[in-house]
Chains A and B, each alone.
Chain A
Amino acid sequence: MSQGDRGGATTAEPVALDLYQQIVLEHSRRPQNFRRLDTPDRRAEGHNRLCGDKVTLYLRLAGGLLAEVTFEAAGCAICLASASLLTETAAGLSVGTAERLAAGVIGHFDDPAAHALPPALAALDGVRAYPSRIRCATLPWQTLRQALAGPADAIATTEPAE
């Protein structure tokens, strides 16, 4: 991905970088913790009915903490990057803290002044300028809330298409 690879492109690149920041592109190309857990303590599926994106989140709990957070997904770059970042930031948190983090990330897209993103997730802020893509970013976090709330196997669905 060196500049030399960018072929004959000359004018006006980069494009859409506020949405597709390098960190988002890297996480979408090489998602972290992209694997299923065979015996998770919690498992939740999230669906975006608008675009068909699907996220499955797996949690292993130990002593009230999220000892392991992994996922599988079929979705767009924003969804994959958001899920990948989620597994990195939620691992090691207590159930309560993870729940507050998920609520805060989802809340950020409604009211950024009231819900600041933690620095590790700052790259997701660019999605705010693309209303049709916000659900792509929030789907993994809604799925996390479902997983935390239980039951052990839960299904989350984003709001239906308008």
Chain B
Amino acid sequence: MNASPRAIPGPLDVGRLRQDFPILDQQVNGAPLAYLDNAASTQRPLAVLDAMDHYYRHDHANVHRGVHTLSHRATDRYEHARELVRGFLNAASIREVIFTRGTTEAINLVAYTLGQRLKAGDEIVVSELEHHSNIVPWQMLCERTGAVLRVGPITDRGEIDVEAMLALITPATRLVGVAHVSNALGTVNPVAEIIAAARRHGALTLVDGAQAAAHVPVDVRALGCDFYALSGHKLHGPTGIGVLYGRESVLETLPPFQGGGDMIATVSFRGTTYNELPYRFEAGTPAIAEAIGLGAAIEYLGRVGLPAIAAHEEALVDHALARLRDLPGIRFLGNPRQRVGLVSFNIDGIHPHDVGTVLDQRGVAVRAGHHCAMPVMERFGVPGSVRASFALYNTRDEVDRLVEALQLAVRMFAP
């Protein structure tokens, strides 16, 4: 299948790339900022900031409405962003690309619209390592419909126990939801295998791609999923914008989500007809500038190159694991064989929030807590963990500073 030689990505020129991210150039508590909290939210390159600024300065009007020039321009830019997303995900058509507020709203859209066809006894299957946003909407749906939520367990490595999860998928299963990448552990899940099993039983599949899209290439047609959700702010785009990819044949069968402007064809008190895809699922004036910003982020990632980014981040993770291993009292959460972008750990005798505060005093920003994945913390018997997560602009030097700040925390809190 690979007739042409596989392209080997060249190393990133991180020094130059960092100049694209003005926020990185600052001192925090007297030290240069080392931003290692990218799994919570990434930073934006100038290309994104400029695209949004240019839009507001020159092109803003409401979309899909006006006959005037600015409205045409705004609509063109908004719809161009949709086309960029389509290409990014390799969706078949822009009819399959719905803009949402983020991954959470995308999953809620599916849970809500699917709810009208679920009944008591139906089952939904998720894994134990899901983010709360891929758990709670299904719990709420089960409460409304009497459906049952089944949870596929994870192993001590922090990987989905695929055999156990597949055993839960039966003809009663209506939907299988799974994260492409775990935000708490970094595990890359075998989503294609899980999707294939779900499809054999006629179940719909939803992939939570929030933690994946900035790190691994996504091809929804190769994956074969019915839904794929992602958030702009986790791939160097704006907050307040996300995407729900939905297979067109499935979206056609779903009722509308929210009612309002833009999602209708005609409105009368005798009855209302709904707009075509994807607009049927985008009620109200959308986040136009944010969609344009997301499009700019996708173009930026394309210029830098996802394979090169992935190789760079893999090297950072390897370096972090190698150096952290020697830290007294360190305990890693999970040890997944397929991992991207982050390391999650605890230090014996030091609460993760105390670690986070000491690191902050050295300009090193990490996440400390449960990472909106409390079942994962419960699985590993910890209240939370320290998570260092990487992006294209991070350096080995920043990883070293993380380790030095952790050594300081160990000395401070030593018994």
Contacts and interface: CB of A to CB of B under 8 A. Distances in A.
Contact of A15 (B351, B352, B408): B408
Q: Which of B352, B354, B358, B411 has the most CB of A within 10 A?
A: B354
Interface in B352-369: 352-354, 357-358, 361-362, 369
A24 to B, nearest CB: 10
Interface in B1-55: 30
Contact of A76 (B354, B361, B377, B408): B354
A9 B351 contact: no
A9 B369 contact: no
A52 interface: yes
Given A5-B411, A6-B411, A29-B415, A74 B358 contact: no
B413 to A, nearest CB: 7
A63 interface: no
B412 interface: yes
A77 B351 contact: yes
Interface in A1-45: 1, 5-7, 9, 12-16, 19-20, 25, 28-29
B413 A77 contact: yes
A53 B352 CA distance: 11
Nearest to A16: B361
B383 interface: yes
B384 to A, nearest CB: 6
B392 to A, nearest CB: 28
B351 to A, nearest CB: 4
A100 interface: no
Given A29-B415, A77-B413, A52 B383 contact: yes
Interface in A83-138: 130, 133, 136
Contacts of B362: 15
Contacts of B354: 20, 76-78
A5 B408 contact: no
Most interface-central of A13, A50, A76 (chain B CB within 10 A): A76
B357 A133 contact: yes
Contacts of A133: 353, 357
A16 to B, nearest CB: 4
Nearest to A15: B361
Interface string A54-82: 00000000000000000000111110000
B167 interface: no
B32 to A, nearest CB: 13
Nearest to A28: B413
A51 interface: yes
A51 B30 CA distance: 27
B414 interface: yes
B370 interface: yes
Given A15-B358, A74-B383, A136 B353 contact: yes
Contact of A9 (B30, B384, B411): B411
Interface in B393-411: 407-408, 411
A5 B361 CA distance: 21
Contacts of B30: 12
Nearest to A20: B412
Contacts of A1: 414
A16 B411 contact: no
B408 A52 contact: no
B348 to A, nearest CB: 13
Nearest to B369: A51
Contacts of A20: 354, 358, 412
14 contacts: A12-B30, A16-B357, A16-B358, A16-B412, A20-B358, A20-B412, A25-B412, A51-B383, A52-B377, A52-B383, A76-B351, A77-B351, A77-B413, A133-B353
Interface of B: 30, 350-354, 357-358, 361-362, 369-370, 377, 383-384, 407-408, 411-415
Q: Which 6 A-B pairs have the closest CB atoms?
A: A76-B351, A52-B383, A16-B361, A76-B353, A15-B361, A77-B354
